[in-house]
Structure 1
Amino acid sequence: MTQATLSPLDTTGSETLVKLPVQAPKADIGTSPLIARLVNAFHATWVDESNIAAWSAEGGDRVVLFAGDPVQFPQGMDVAVVLPELQRALNNCFQIGVVERDKEAALARRYGSQRWPTLLFLRDGKYVTTLSGMHDWEDFLREMQQALAMPTSRAPIAVMGPAASDSACH
């Protein structure tokens, strides 16, 4: 049996079945089941350095989860659980992307992110902002609304490595 749903465009009341595209889960054993659930149950997209530009340029608001190591940053799993609820509360006004654990650091550097968990906001292929950490529901909802209302901007440059610790600027 194939996965199907009633088409939202069907206004006649007849049952029109539309096959939904389902993205295959990554076989990486390092992928958390909660992260894979975002793809399998909530239609999130796996993104990495090779496809994030094209995916984000498809239009509209996009939110990418950098969950981090679940042992070191357990709040990342909390954000993975809450993110679809935030999407629903905000009228599905954004698409969700997730990054495989082993590809997070490189992609996070590209967008100047240095904290986990982090949500990266993109719009029409451009950087908007990031939101780090786990928050109480009302705070999270407000912060998400504010981030989604911000204009696009230039991604910050992440300062990393030994040179960053020698800097007098903090």
Structure 2
Amino acid sequence: MNHPLITRLITDFGWPKLTTMDEFSAFTEAPGVHVLFVPGDPARNLETPDVAVILPELQMAFQGQFDCAVVDEPIEYKVREDAGVLKTPSLIFYRQGRMIGGIPKVRDWQEYVQRISQFIVEPVAAE
């Protein structure tokens, strides 16, 4: 996961890097809407740096209606598999510990805005 644009999310923006499933649970179960950035391997996936630049812009555009974290390699596969969002890079949205949506790969700005707007207002399904 070593890429300067991913590191920037953690160091400059102060986003947590989730390395364990306990950290994942604590982050996604907190009040509010949460976005997990699942970068994949930036050396093999050339879209990863693009999403690392796009996500902070989306967070600003939505005026902080969600917070963000970076999923670290040790738990990346389990997070993707549990969410059913297997392609990377991806953004996976949670509320109250439950996934409310996912956006794999790079999309155009309007699609991001449309889908995120739906995720934010969508109620969490009961189990």
Higher helix content, 1 or 2: 2
Question: Aligned pairs, how many?
Answer: 126
Kindly indicate whether the alpha-carbon contact (under 8 Å) linking 1:117 and 1:133 is maintained by their aligned counterparts in 2. yes
CA distance in 2, matches of 1:49, 1:153: 22
Match of 1:131 among 103, 120, 123: 103
Runs of 4+ in 1 over 6 A off after TM superposition: none
Match of 1:39 among 1, 5, 10: 10
Structure having the higher Rg: 1
Structure 1 counterpart of 2:46, one-letter code:
P
Identity %: 29
Give 1:24's aligned residue: none
Change (3 A) 1:34 1:153: farther
Q: TM-score, normalised to structure 1's length?
A: 0.67
What are structure 1's unaligned runs of at least 5 residues?
A: 1-29, 155-170
CA distance in 2, matches of 1:100, 1:134: 19
- Per the TM alignment, residue 102 of structure 1 is displaced from its structure 2 partner at its CA by 4.2
- Per the TM alignment, residue 77 of structure 1 is displaced from its structure 2 partner at its CA by 1.3
For residues 8-19 of structure 1, the aligned pairs below 5 Å read none
2:102 is paired with a residue of what secondary structure?
strand
What are structure 2's unaligned runs of at least 5 residues?
A: none
Structure 1 counterpart of 2:5, one-letter code:
L
CA distance in 2, matches of 1:52, 1:44: 13
CA distance in 1, matches of 2:100, 2:44: 27
Give 2:40's aligned residue: 68
Q: TM-score, normalised to structure 2's length?
A: 0.88
2:12 is paired with a residue of what secondary structure?
helix
Match of 2:69 among 90, 97, 100: 97
Match of 1:118 among 82, 86, 90: 90
